[in-house]
Amino acid sequence: MSLRQSTHDPRVQALVLLVPALAIYAVFALYPMINVVILSFQKWNGLDPNRQFVGVANYTAIFTRDPVFWVAFRNTVIWTVMSLIFPPVVGLLLALSLNQKIFGRNGLRAIFYLPVIIAPIAVATMWKWMYDPFFGLFSQLLTSWGMQGWIKDWLGSKDIALYSVFVAYLWQTVGFSMVLFLAGLQNVPQTLVEAARIDGAGRWAVFKHVTLPALRPTITIVLVLSIISSLKAFDIVYGLTGGGPAQSTQMLALWAFTQAMQIFDFGRGAAISVVLLLITMAVVVPYLRWTQRHEEVEA
Amino acid sequence: MLTLSAKLKTASIIAIAMASFAATPALAEDITLWTLNFDNNAGNEALKKAATDFEAANPGTHVEIVQRAVDEHKTALRVAAGSDKGPDIYFSWAGLGLGGEYVKAGLSLPLDKYYAEYKWDDELLPSAAAFADLYPGGKHGVPFTFKGEAVYYNKKLFEQAGIQEEPKTYDELLAAAEKLKAGGIPAFTFGGTVNWHVMRLMDVILETKCGAEKHDALKAMTLDWTKEPCAAESFAEFAKWTKDYTLQPFMGIDNKQSYSLFTAGRAAMMLEGDWLVSQMNGSGANLDDYGIFPFPTNTSRLYGFAEYNYISTKSKNPDIAAKFLDYFLSTKVQQDLLGQLSSTSVNENVQYTNQKPLEAEWLGIFQKYDKVYMNGDQAFPLDVTTEYFRVINEVASGGTEPTEAAKQLQNFIASRT
């Protein structure tokens, strides 16, 4: 094959187009990931020119001696479970409501989606003000309603701080689930809905037996994306509590950052990141395989 | 083939590049200072002016100042430590914590030779200069600023509670807190979300209950926190102060919110640094309404910390760097800088005129004390600091008993590798 012919080969063209992207991916994603895995077996404080190989010592330390790791792990699990329930359910309810032909629904869709485009750190700043126990919005409202007894130290109490942060996270992310469900709802066959109604099915029956099965692919996508997003939860926790009080809102992603970039124990920070990576992979890999199978079936 | 336009462009680029090289010849006496980008812009300008004046007084020298935010500065120093390049002079905090880490890593040049040559000990405030002796292997760094921390109090609230005099002993302070409580006034305000704010209370209580020597040994981790009864006693006392004498709730607010509550008269006292005077002045508070007294620990030491400039071991021009630091610390320059980088100078020969009442009080405090005990986050290594914060917050939240707190901290220290 001549050079001229080979340049017209679609496979060669595809390769030429892919190489720059692959190179960038390899340098900025693959290499750092491999380096983090290597670093998790080393001791390094960022100052010494040499990294010392320590075997699994960093993993032993975080699993057995770190007083915060398991708190962060538990919080990450709680956060993930809540993320699997609340944003999808609230998002679905919003989507169902805003799929109706109501006045100003486009404006309402935009309003509910708006928090998604705000930077999480800005959301944190906003909610921090609202949660201020002295001058914040919630305290002022409760005071004006004569419900001072309900005022809590929203971000300062170990018992409720994690849930207070989650409410802010829910406010920010629910619009994303809503949009995905709205897109999914457009694909629900109207002929089936009408046929069910003709057969005498009520609203709940139509929803349960027609709408919900048709939304199954969307639900899977929403749930998987919710899990991935929840495992990465960082900015909003950092901005609202910094992991406190007493590390009670600490999360794995934030604790990895704290170990590496604040305590400068890069080995332990990397070990926590690897644990988080493995958990994320356990979710993402089955999802990718499911997507691939789905695409093959459709093809 | 290149077009005429392309040729002209190429020629222009080469000409500009050559001109640039010609305009900035590499000077034999270049030095670089890496420091923070200070919130107070007057301070940034003053620093640049000092560098320009030094260059004018020393023809052939060039001082380049590189300023960064705190975290970027720390990261840049770490990168510099692992390479051949970096600053001649770098800013860091004094003490065995963060500043000590760079010293331990060999980034800081011992300055005994320059201390003797320039007689710095003769002109520096002893409390500020004391930090240079903390490190093994000689004197490291020279003071940039010195920060003292003491109790600010609201005179009207003290009067309202029937407190006639500033407490001079710990028992008197407790009695004052009790009087305030009886009058429905929270004694102190703290911000719990920034761990270091409420940490100050634990630090001063440790100094009070353990005394200077044991306190230092506990912070240096050479004494066992579980075997020294004063450690658990301090945690117990700390729990009492946060429960009974602190404006509630405080764990969910930060130091800025705490400051707003103090100036709004919601609490009578605040444990803060000397920098609060300019902050209060800037926010329009009437300084005459407030007073200051050092937390009564009965150890004759002032609570505080220092910021230092260190000469890097990688400096190619350490003599010029030392000369610049000497110029910067000189009475004339420090007199000019007064009020721009700090309300007090690290040079003891600086004259203070037209001081505000609280500034005069601070000066009196600085002149009275020649020994210092440091903030916990400057004294401990970073990992222990993080655990110290956690344990303190656990105690303040009522989740951990004092003896258990001492045990947890000691366990962490013992498990370090």
Q: What's the total number of domains in chain A?
A: 1
What pLDDT is stored for residue B1 in this prediction? 38
More confident of the two residues B22 and A259 = A259
Nearest CA among B291, B36, B41, B264 for reference residue B176:
B291
Q: What are the chain B neighbours of A47 within 8 Å (beta carbons)?
A: 78, 81-82, 101-102, 105, 107
First to last CA, chain A: 32
Tell me the nearest-neighbour CA distance from B98 into chain A, angstroms: 10
Contact B252 A48 (CB under 8 A): no
* Collapsed DSSP state (helix, strand, coil) of residue B17: helix
Q: What are the chain B neighbours of A247 within 8 Å (beta carbons)?
A: 390, 393
Q: Are B355 and A235 in contact (CB under 8 A)?
A: no
Q: Are B356 and B287 in contact (CB under 8 A)?
A: yes
Tell me the nearest-neighbour CA distance from B70 into chain A, angstroms: 11
Measured between CA atoms, the residue of chain B closest to residue A164 is B252
Q: For B96-143, what is each residue's pLDDT tens digit?
A: 777 888 888 889 999 999 999 999 999 998 888 888 988 888 999 999
What amino acid is encoded at A159 in this protein?
Answer: D
Give the pairing type, strands B29-36 and B89-93. Answer: parallel
* Collapsed DSSP state (helix, strand, coil) of residue B76: helix
Mean pLDDT throughout B60-68? 94
First to last CA, chain B: 66
Nearest CA among B246, B240, B278, B282 for reference residue B262:
B246
- CB proximity B266 to A under 8 Å: yes
Mean pLDDT throughout A85-111? 92
CATH number at residue A80: 1.10.3720.10
Q: Which domains does chain B have, with CATH numbers?
A: 28-147+304-366 (3.40.190.10), 148-302+373-414 (3.40.190.10)
Is residue A105 in a domain?
A: yes
* Collapsed DSSP state (helix, strand, coil) of residue B309: strand
Alpha-carbon dihedral B146, B147, B148, B153, rounded to 10 degrees: 150
Instruction: Quickly state the pLDDT bin for B13 (edges 50, 70, 90).
Output: very low
Q: For B174-192, what is each residue's pLDDT tens digit?
A: 999 999 999 999 999 999 9
Q: Are B343 and B353 in contact (CB under 8 A)?
A: no
On the question of pLDDT at A162 being above 70, the answer is yes
Alpha carbon distance A208, A272 (integer Å): 42
Contact B252 A61 (CB under 8 A): no
Q: Residue B157 contacts by C-beta under 8 Å, 6 or more apart in sequence? A: B180, B185, B265, B268
- CB proximity B327 to A under 8 Å: no
Q: For A119-143, what is each residue's pLDDT tens digit?
A: 999 999 999 999 999 889 999 999 9
ω into A67 cis (within 30 of 0): no
What pLDDT is stored for residue A1 in this prediction? 58
Strands, DSSP E only, in B290-398? 290-293, 302-311, 372-373
Q: Which long-range contacts does B364-369 make (Cβ < 8 Å, 24+ apart)?
A: B365/B148, B365/B150, B365/B292, B365/B294, B365/B302, B366/B125, B366/B127, B366/B146, B366/B148, B366/B302, B368/B302, B369/B127, B369/B148, B369/B294, B369/B300, B369/B301, B369/B302
By Cβ distance, the residue of B75, B193, B412 closest to A244 is B193
What pLDDT is stored for residue B9 in this prediction? 47
By Cβ distance, the residue of B105, B382, B415 closest to A48 is B105
Token pair for B307? 């910021």
Is residue A248 in a domain?
A: yes
Nearest CA among B189, B196, B187, B193 for reference residue B147:
B196
Q: What are the chain B neighbours of A131 within 8 Å (beta carbons)?
A: 252
Instruction: Quickly state the pLDDT bin for A199 (edges 50, 70, 90).
Output: confident
**DSSP assignment of B25-74, as one string?**
PPPTEEEEEEEE--SSHHHHHHHHHHHHHHHHHSTTEEEEEEEE-HHHHH
Tell me the nearest-neighbour CA distance from B60 into chain A, angstroms: 33
Alpha carbon distance B140, B99 (integer Å): 10
Query: What residue numbers bound the domain in which A219 lies?
Result: 71-253
Mean pLDDT throughout B146-172? 96
Which of B198, B261, B386 has the highest number of chain A CBs within 10 A, making it the mutation to test binding with A?
Answer: B386
Which of A134, A154, A241 has the highest number of chain B CBs within 10 A, making it the mutation to test binding with B?
Answer: A134
By Cβ distance, the residue of B81, B249, B396 closest to A47 is B81
What pLDDT is stored for residue B280 in this prediction? 85
Alpha carbon distance A289, A293 (integer Å): 6
Nearest CA among B181, B149, B138 for reference residue B163:
B181
Q: How many CB pairs under 8 A join A and B?
A: 95
- CB proximity B250 to A under 8 Å: yes
Range with the poorest average pLDDT among A160-164, B96-100, B177-181, B224-228: B96-100
Q: For B289-347, what is each residue's pLDDT tens digit?
A: 999 999 999 999 999 989 999 999 999 999 999 999 999 999 999 998 887 878 789 99
Mean pLDDT throughout A66-92? 95
CB atoms within 10 A of CB B217: 15
Is residue A100 in a domain?
A: yes
Check residue A132 and report its DSSP letter: -
Q: Are A168 and A236 in contact (CB under 8 A)?
A: yes
By Cβ distance, the residue of A65, A241, A247 closest to B193 is A241
Q: Are B325 and B142 in contact (CB under 8 A)?
A: yes
Is residue B354 left, alpha or beta, with left meaning phi > 0 and alpha meaning psi from -120 to 50? left
Contact B253 A134 (CB under 8 A): yes
Token pair for B57? 């007084």
Q: For B349-380, what is each residue's pLDDT tens digit?
A: 999 887 788 888 998 898 888 888 999 988 89
Measured between CA atoms, the residue of chain B closest to residue A51 is B82
Q: What does the angle CA B114 – CA B117 – CA B122 come to, to the nearest 5 degrees?
A: 95
Is residue A65 in a domain?
A: no
By Cβ distance, the residue of B250, B399, B412 closest to A67 is B412
Tell me the nearest-neighbour CA distance from B395 into chain A, angstroms: 9
Nearest CA among B155, B370, B365, B94 for reference residue B352:
B365
Q: Residue A211 contacts by C-beta under 8 Å, 6 or more apart in sequence? A: A185, A188, A193
- CB proximity B192 to A under 8 Å: yes
Alpha carbon distance B162, B157 (integer Å): 9
Q: What are the chain B neighbours of A45 within 8 Å (beta carbons)?
A: 101, 105
* Collapsed DSSP state (helix, strand, coil) of residue B415: coil
What pLDDT is stored for residue A116 in this prediction? 93
SS3 assignment for B123-192 = HECHHHHHHHHCCCCCCECEEEEEEEEEEEEEHHHHHHCCCCCCCCCHHHHHHHHHHHHHCCCCCECCCC
* Collapsed DSSP state (helix, strand, coil) of residue A43: strand
Nearest CA among A230, A199, A237 for reference residue A88:
A230
Contact B82 A153 (CB under 8 A): no
Contact A46 B107 (CB under 8 A): no
Give residue ranges of A with CB < 8 Å to any B CB: 45-49, 57, 61, 65, 67-68, 131-135, 152-158, 161, 241-242, 244-247, 258, 261-265
- What is the pTM (predicted TM-score) of this model? 0.84
* Collapsed DSSP state (helix, strand, coil) of residue B110: strand
Tell me the nearest-neighbour CA distance from A246 into chain B, angstroms: 4
